[in-house]
Amino acid sequence: MNKDTIEGNWKELKGKVKEQWGKLTDDRLDEIAGRREQLAGEIQQAYGVTREEAEKQINDFEQIRKH
């Protein structure tokens, strides 16, 4: 899954993202609108993880969704 896929499928993925990162509110998810960098920043802030960890979590999420 690449950046365009996340943005293009955001409506479809939004529910799964909410399941994965429940601390992110619907309002925040609407503002993110599939932008990977913003999603990473929100995960980093909400969960107190490093940027690298947030990116890893997104990569792991993408791999699971790919299969």
CATH number of the domain within which 17 lies: 1.10.1470.10
Tell me how many domains the chain contains.
1
Eight-state DSSP code of residue 24: S
pTM, 2 dp: 0.82
As given in the structure block, the two tokens for residue 34 are 């599939």
pLDDT digits (tens, 9 = 90+) for 12-67: 889 999 999 999 999 999 999 889 899 999 999 999 999 999 999 999 998 887 76
- Supply the range of the domain harboring residue 26: 3-66
Task: Give the model's pLDDT for residue 57.
Answer: 96
